[in-house]
Structure 1
């Protein structure tokens, strides 16, 4: 047939490209290797520089044939170490997740602008979240094997469901480059949550503490919304206190109270690393505020402190802002939605007038009277600062 077409076109004086009718040996080879990519994924014998074009063509054929045939994407245990072409991983992401509209996975700005990192991080997240029983040997072995293979490309994990009995130490031990971790604890599928099944348990808190203790790359830990009370917090802080890399700790939307604040204060007195501490929506009252403010007299590295939606009354706020006059490192503090009043307003004004390193103070939804707001406004030195305070409906001070 091909020969007949060639003769016909020549008789008709038509332009004829032999390469289209008779595929080259290279074209046949790249197509067949792509078709059986699982067997040849390492592309052994093809130098990355000398044979870059051939390697690229094989990889493109592999993903195109997978999409065309509707097959599962190639196993990361096969491809992670051998394929670095971003176009492959982009197509793999789109093929595996675009139908489910998982924009978060496909937003590579959250993954170091790398499609490969985006794919592997999402793959590991789903692998862990789908574990039914981590005590079963084959599941444990599979997770450890996969983590070991992909370890060079995993920098962040966002686990919406941490499985029961899952040992986080395996994650931290096998992912030495892990920098950001977000954890949510609950029993059963997300759609079947009950109040008593949501949140971290004692054994899980102890396991998290042990895991964080020996992590030397962890920069950001987010355990927001896990029903962590002072008893659980003790076990977590046992590990956090020994960590030497953590810059940001998010404990928002938990049940940390005054005893937990005391433990945090002891940590802040000794710590010279942490930059951001988020305690939004917890149960810290007067005693806890005293512990924290005493610690801030000594701590010089913390730059952001979020204390919105706690139990600071006017007396607590007054003492807190009085002690902040001795702090030199804090740049932002959020005490919105507490119960600050006139006494706190006076101390805020004194703090601003005597000079402070703070550049932003958030105060919305407190119990300030009109006179209290006038006192605060009068202490702001710059006219633009006063204008912004009014424009923000007296909720934000910028210095």
Structure 2
């Protein structure tokens, strides 16, 4: 019989039954194998592999990625944890696959088309946005933002912050009295609800081009109070000063934030002669005529191409100021005044401006209490203007005669490709005939674009 040895091998040992007849050695001797559970056929890893494992496990203390060969860098990056401190990875790792893992492990929906098709940019923009949305003044440590600036400043191009939390501590008298809607509208208790000052942050982001802000609280539930939705005058001062210093800013959106005339004028004062701003969105606010007059001044002293004042409280005086600026402007391409109350005095003023304006391509005047006088004058615009491509008059009371006037104006028009007349009472036949003309223009424009495609940028 054989005696087992280390590693599962065995040696022969005498038979347990030596008195048995010895027919043959193989017949009277048996084998007993005792397996070593630690013994394996797997070969010892290469020294290179052991070194790479060590580098991965100690990367936080000794990040030597740049000293490795490209093939070894790839192996290390594929194994690195996404929970490593940003102080280690931010300015060292540029590999998109690593940042893709960081994004997909943190957020369920990841569309990099909104971030210049860059996973690293997505991670830092969304990470910074999350910090700002959860920042509580006088409670959250400001270093959370300040320490992130040198790590993210080279990658942040756009910030979309749809929530700003107020301080936890509010004025005791305000709590007792439980501010009414009217008191909140007049800004009482503003001293207690100032929000985080973006000044230090956005002026330290040299590549910031878009800023989308909403001052309010999401999902407040049963804890609703009006002062949670109060964009204070001090907030406006801080923001206006910061935006003025953000010289590369191209798009500025401040929506659903109760921006009134005084705050609009303050913002405009700091945006005059801005070198890069091309889009301004102040929709869903409380802007009236004085605020619109200030915006009109901005149109005349800026390079704005897109202006959105949707859902405010602008009447004919404000519309007339915008029209005066529009008549002289040579950059604005899109104007949205939907859901205001410019009425026919404002509509006629805008129509006259478009008789001389040669740059505006799209205008939205839906839900503005417009009627036949505006339609009559606008028919002249359709007949003479060769720049407008999209017009929206929906939800106004233009009437049958107004519709006929617009149809007559369109007879020789070859540029308008969109014309929304829903709920304007112009009549089905007129609306159908207008649709046919506009469709023919659209088809002609499509064929022309196929024959002469736009040149690709260099």
Q: Conserved in 1, the CA contact under 8 Å of 2:247 and 2:275?
A: yes
Structure 1: how far apart are the matches of 2:232 and 2:253? 16
| Equivalent position SS for 1:38 | coil
- 1:318 is displaced (CA, Å) by 1.5
Residue 118 (str. 1) matches residue 148 (str. 2):
no
SS in 1 for 2:307: strand
* Deviations 1:62-95, CA, capped at 9 Å, x for gaps: 13xx6xxxxxx22222211011111111111111
Q: Work out whether residues 161 and 186 of structure 1, in 8 Å CA contact, stay in contact via their aligned partners in 2.
A: yes
Q: In structure 2, what is the equivalent of residue 225 of structure 1?
A: 256
1:233–1:19 distance in 2 versus 1, CA, 3 Å:
farther
- The residue number in structure 2 matching 1:81 is 91
Deviations 1:192-246 (A, max 9, x none): 4433421411111111100110111111111111111101112211222242111
**Higher helix fraction (1 or 2):** 1
Match of 1:41 among 56, 63, 84: 63
Alignment of 1:352 with 2:413, yes or no, is no
User: Does structure 1 conserve the Cα–Cα contact (< 8 Å) formed by 2:391 and 2:420?
Assistant: no
User: CA 1:159–1:195 in 2, change beyond 3 Å: closer, same or farther?
Assistant: same
Q: What are structure 2's unaligned runs of at least 5 residues?
A: 1-5, 9-39, 167-194, 424-430, 442-458
Q: Which residue in 1 is equivalent to 2:70?
A: 52
Conserved 8 A contact 2:383-2:413: no
Tell me the residue number matched to 2:148: 146
TM-score by length of 2: 0.74
Q: What 5-or-longer segments of structure 1 have no aligned partner? A: 6-17, 67-72
Name which of 69, 80, 87 aligns with 1:62. 80
Q: Deviations over 1:104-155 (max 9, x none)?
A: xx1100111011111111111112222223x56x822331121122111111
Aligned-pair CA distance for 1:268: 1.2
Distance change >3 Å, CA 188–CA 276, structure 1 → 2: closer
User: Paired residue for 1:90?
Assistant: 100
User: In 1, are the aligned partners of 2:162 and 2:216 still within 8 Å (CA)?
Assistant: no
Residues 390 and 417, structure 2, Cα contact 8 Å, conserved in 1: no
The Cα shift of 1:305 comes to 0.3
1:316 deviates by 1.9
Distance 2:313 2:269 in 1: 20
Work out whether residues 389 and 417 of structure 2, in 8 Å CA contact, stay in contact via their aligned partners in 1. no
Paired position in structure 1 for 2:353: 323
Whether the 8 Å contact between 1:259 and 1:288 is mirrored in structure 2 is yes
Cα drift, residue 381 of structure 1: 2.9
- Tell me which residue corresponds to 2:366: 336
How many angstroms apart in 2 are the aligned matches of 1:182 and 1:388? 28
**Does the CA contact (< 8 Å) of 1:303 and 1:332 recur in 2?**
yes
- Which runs of at least 4 in structure 1 moved beyond 6 Å after TM superposition? 383-388, 390-393
User: What is the deviation of 1:157?
Assistant: 0.8
Confirm or deny that 1:131 pairs with 2:135.
yes
1:208 correspondence with 2:239: yes
**Cα gap change, 1:335/1:39 in structure 2, threshold over 3 Å: closer, same or farther?**
same
- SS state of the match for residue 153, structure 1? coil
Structure 1 position 188, deviation (Å): 8.5
Does structure 2 retain, via aligned residues, the 8 Å contact 1:35–1:61? no
SS of 1:27's equivalent in the other structure is: helix
- Please name the residue that 1:258 is paired with: 289
Match for residue 338 of structure 2 among 282, 303, 308: 308
Conserved? CA contact 1:161–1:184, under 8 Å: yes
Q: Is residue 148–residue 175 contact of structure 1 (8 Å, CA) maintained in 2?
A: no
Cα distance in 2 for partners of 1:240, 1:292 equals 16
2:308 is the alignment partner of 1:278: yes
Deviations 1:338-366 (A, max 9, x none): 11111001111011112342111111100
1:45 CA displacement: 2.7
2:44 match: 22
Q: State the shift of 1:285 in Å.
A: 0.5
Q: 1:159: which partner in 2? A: 161
